[in-house]
Amino acid sequence: MSELLQFLFSGVTVGAVYALVALGFTIIYNASDVVNFAQGEFVMLGGMATVFAHAAGLPLPLAALVAIVGTAAVGVALNRLAIEPARGAPVVSLIIITIGASIFIRGAAQLVFDKQIHTFPAFSGDDPIRILGATILPQSLWVIAGAVLVFVALWLFFTRTLLGRAVLATSNNRLAAQLVGINTNFVMTLSFALSAGIGALAGVLVTPITLTSYDVGLTLALKGFAAAMLGGMGNPKGALAGGLLLGLLEAMTAGYLSSQYKDAAAFVVILAVLFLMPQGLFGRKSTDRV
Amino acid sequence: MLTVEGLRSRYGRIEVLHGIDLHVDSGEIVTVVGANGAGKTTLLRCLSGVQPVTGGSITFRGEALTPVPAYKRLRRGLAQSPEGRQIFTNLTVEENLRLGAFLFSDDRVEKDMEDAFQMFPILKEKRNLAAGGLSGGQQQMLAMARALMGRPSCLLLDEPSMGLAPIVVQQIFDVVKGLKALNVTVLLVEQNAFGALKIADRGYVMETGHITMSGTAAELIADPRIREAYLGI
């Protein structure tokens, strides 16, 4: 029993990270139909920039803020320099551009930061909390709370605000969005900034648990992508559910099968979803009539 | 209200508008008729700012329009119901209308939406359905209603009758005619020359990127060349 609970705790923690990455995917996908494979690098930048800003003498909260804002700026730059000039190219080309961008960012991080593994102190100490024989780190609670908070904020943004609907409208029909007065360039800028900021937040929250280095982004991007696909690309609810499910699946695989197969779980999920239900759990079917 | 002088536009190296002159006065319904490929849609795309202009000028309510980006033109009072309707297929009918009033967040939005539902009652019935599931005629109604939600002083309509059953075409032309009472000036581009000229005050005939004839709607309907070429009489 306590064993199961322990796997559950670690699954939800990891799942919350995947959910945050998947939520980042959601925003850019909603605005542009592009799956941004550089999303994992935003997580890496969040963690690494906090480490270095903290080491340079900034207090931790300020260092985290600097990292998040800086990463958001990188997101905006990615849009301006790489995505916007290729406007009108097929979505597949844009996705390949994001893969190129992720390789570039990883390389640049290696030079700007270093190749070491880093961490910084957990926000509320390292004493595990005991619940029914299992333990959970206080930092895990931070990660889970972060994921839930971002989810609620995004859900409200897309369903309750006019600007959120303008983002959806821009992805659905950019021409029509301009005709009703939406500044579609601004929507794209906003999406990349938000998305990168959320990725960086995930990096800040998770680094005390998983540590960070210049190359953690790739795996996170793939896992987050699997989570987003599982939940249904473009839907914040799906991103949260998909992330948590994937995290649990991984923890159970690691616990009951073998930790060797942990990473395989995510990729089995991608394959199964693509074959059996490409819409994902919450994805909406597109209805078009011509 | 709207003056176009010597307007030129090209797709790549091919020029499709070779110097268009036309004007629309406040309160008028003006139509531009012509065959497929004459450049009518390109003309409207230039007016709404989604197509680059390579020469000439557009003046709207006394201001040069060419430097104004597309998304700011509705703020000046110029709305477009574009070719192919271009509704937001993934969003509901009501969300489409709400986005039509993207620039506004006052109490009048609700009232305008009620007016739109009164104009096209079928949209009220389908208000919570995804717009992509509407029939062609309903999508056209939605495109027009969405454009009107932006409170335009001038509405550009691109081929509202395209691909629709005659009874629906009639219904839509009736609504266009009724826009006069709402103080909305209309520039209507149509292949259905007879239907368009019947509700218009004045008309222009466009052929391969040139305006070849103009006059009052009555004159054009009576002109033997028009009758032969466009009205099939």
How long a stretch of residues is chain A? 290
* Confidence (pLDDT) at A100: 95
Average pLDDT (A59-84) is 96
Parallel, antiparallel, or unpaired: how do β-strands B14-24 and B2-11 relate? antiparallel
Q: Give A209's contacts (C-beta < 8 A, 6+ positions apart).
A: A13, A122, A137, A139, A140, A143
What type of residue is A116? Q
Share above pLDDT 70 across residues of chain A, in percent, rounded to a whole number: 98
pLDDT band at A260 (very low <50, low <70, confident <90, very high): confident
Nearest to B102 among A166, A175, A284 (CB): A166
Q: What is the mean pLDDT of residues A65-91?
A: 94
CA distance A221 to A68: 18
How does strand A129-131 pair with strand A134-136? antiparallel
pLDDT at A288 over 50: no
pLDDT of A286 strictly over 60: no
Q: Rounded distance, CA B231 to CA A248, Å?
A: 69
Q: Kindly report the backbone phi and psi dihedral angles of residue A136, in degrees, each rounded to the nearest multiple of 5, phi listed first.
A: -140, 140
| A289/B99 CB distance under 8 A | no
Per-residue pLDDT of chain B (233 residues; tens, 9 = 90+): 999 999 999 998 999 999 999 999 999 999 999 988 899 999 999 999 999 999 999 999 999 999 999 999 999 999 999 989 999 998 999 999 999 999 999 999 999 999 999 999 999 999 999 999 999 999 999 999 999 999 999 999 999 999 899 999 999 999 999 999 999 999 999 999 989 999 999 999 999 999 999 999 999 999 988 888 876 65
Chain B contacts of A169, Cβ < 8 Å? 88, 91, 99
CB B158 within 8 A of CB B44: yes
What's the full length of chain B, in residues?
Answer: 233
Distance (Å, whole) CA B218 – CA A137? 82
CA–CA distances in Å: residue B180 to residues B32, B97, B99, B192, B221: 17, 21, 24, 20, 21
Q: Which amino acid is at A90?
A: P
Query: Under 8 Å CB-to-CB from B21, ≥6 apart: which residues?
Result: B4, B5, B6, B7, B211
Q: Is A115 helix (H, G, I), strand (E, B) or coil?
A: coil
A234 to chain B: nearest residue by CA?
A: B90
Question: CB–CB of A168 and B87 under 8 A?
Answer: no
pLDDT band at A287 (very low <50, low <70, confident <90, very high): very low
Cα first-last separation, chain A: 56
Split at pLDDT 50, 70, 90, the class of A91 is confident
Closest residue on chain A to B70 (Cα)? A178
Mean pLDDT of A30-37: 88
Say how far apart CA A209 and CA B12 lie, in whole Å: 55
Minimal CA separation from B109 to chain A, in Å: 13
Mean pLDDT over residues A47-61, rounded?
A: 96
Question: Rounded to an integer, what distance in angstroms lies between the CA atom of residue A89 and that of residue A77?
Answer: 19
| ipTM, interface predicted TM-score of the complex | 0.91
Evaluated on CA atoms A47, A48, A49, A50, the torsion sign reads positive
Residues on chain A touching B163 (C-beta within 8 angstroms): none
Residue of B42, B47, B48, B71 for testing the chain A interface, max A β-carbons within 10 Å: B71
Give the gap in angstroms from C-alpha B87 to the nearest C-alpha of chain A.
Answer: 7
Residue A212 DSSP symbol: B
Question: What average pLDDT does the segment A17-31 reach?
Answer: 92
Q: How far apart are CA A286 and CA A48, in angstroms?
A: 39
> Rounded CA gap, B112 and A279, in Å?
36
Q: Which residues of A touch chain B, with CB atoms under 8 Å apart? A: 162, 165-166, 168-169, 172-173, 175-184, 284, 286-289
Q: Provide CB contacts within 8 A for A5, sequence distance 6+.
A: A131, A132, A133, A134
Contact B133 A289 (CB under 8 A): yes
Backbone angles phi, psi at B120, to 5 degrees: -130, 85
* Architecture of the CATH domain A2-276: Orthogonal Bundle (1.10)
What's the whole-model pTM score?
A: 0.86
Are the C-beta atoms of A102 and A218 separated by less than 8 Å? yes
Alpha helix (H) residue ranges in B22-159: 40-48, 70-73, 93-100, 108-119, 121-125, 136-149
Q: Left, alpha or beta for A132 (phi > 0: left; psi -120 to 50: alpha)?
A: left
Mutate to test the interface with B, among A179, A189, A284 (most CBs of B within 10 A): A179
Residues of the domain holding B153? 2-231
Which residue of A181, A287, A289 is in closest CB contact with B71? A181
**CB spacing of A165 vs B95 below 8 angstroms:** yes
Print burial letters for A245-271: b (CB count within 10 Å at least 16), e (below 16). bbbbbbbbbbbeeeeeebeebbeebbe
Q: Which residues lie below 8 Å from residue B80, measured CB to CB, with a gap of 6+?
A: A179, B44, B47, B48, B147, B155, B156, B157, B158
Q: Tell me, what's the pLDDT at B232? A: 66
Cβ-contact A120, A54 below 8 angstroms:
yes
CA-closest candidate to residue B98, choices B146, B161, B156? B146
* C-beta atoms of A288 and B87 within 8 A: no
With beta carbons under 8 A apart, name residues in chain A contacting B79. 179
Nearest by CB: A176 against B87, B133, B134: B87
Band (pLDDT 50/70/90 cuts) for residue A129 is very high
Mutation for B interface: A30, A32, A161, A180, most B CBs within 10 A: A180
Looking at chain B from residue 93 to 132, which residues have their Cβ under 8 Å from any Cβ of chain A?
Answer: 95, 98-100, 102-103, 105, 130, 132
SS3 (DSSP) at B67:
coil
Q: Reduced to 3 DSSP states, what percent helix, strand and coil does chain A have, rounded to the nearest 5?
A: 75, 5, 20
Q: Which residues of A touch B102 (CB under 8 A)?
A: 162, 166, 180-182
Q: Which of A143-157, A249-263, B117-131 has the lowest mean pLDDT?
A: A249-263
Pairwise CB contact (< 8 Å): A180 & B90:
no
The answer to whether B197 and B208 are in contact (CB under 8 A) is no
CB contact under 8 A, B74 and A286: no
CB B4 within 8 A of CB B56: yes
Write out chain A residues lying below 8 Å of B146, CB-based.
180
The answer, yes or no, to whether residue A278 has pLDDT greater than 90, is: no
Tell me which residue of B187, B186, B225 sits closest to B207, measured CA to CA: B225
Q: Which among B71, B80, B86 has CB closest to A173?
A: B86
Taking Cα atoms as reference points, which of B125, B158, B144, B135 lies closest to residue B36? B158
Predicted confidence (pLDDT) at residue A140 exceeds the cutoff of 80 = yes
**Beta carbons of B50 and A178 less than 8 Å apart:** yes
Region A178-201: what's the mean pLDDT? 96
User: How many angstroms separate the CA atoms of B81 and B142, rounded?
Assistant: 9
Q: Is the pLDDT of residue A47 over 60?
A: yes
Instruction: Report the first-to-last Cα separation within chain B, whole angstroms.
Output: 34
Distance CA A199, CA A288 (A): 33
Q: Which residues from B are below 8 Å from A178, CB to CB?
A: 49-50, 70-71
Residue A278 distance to chain B (closest CA, Å): 17
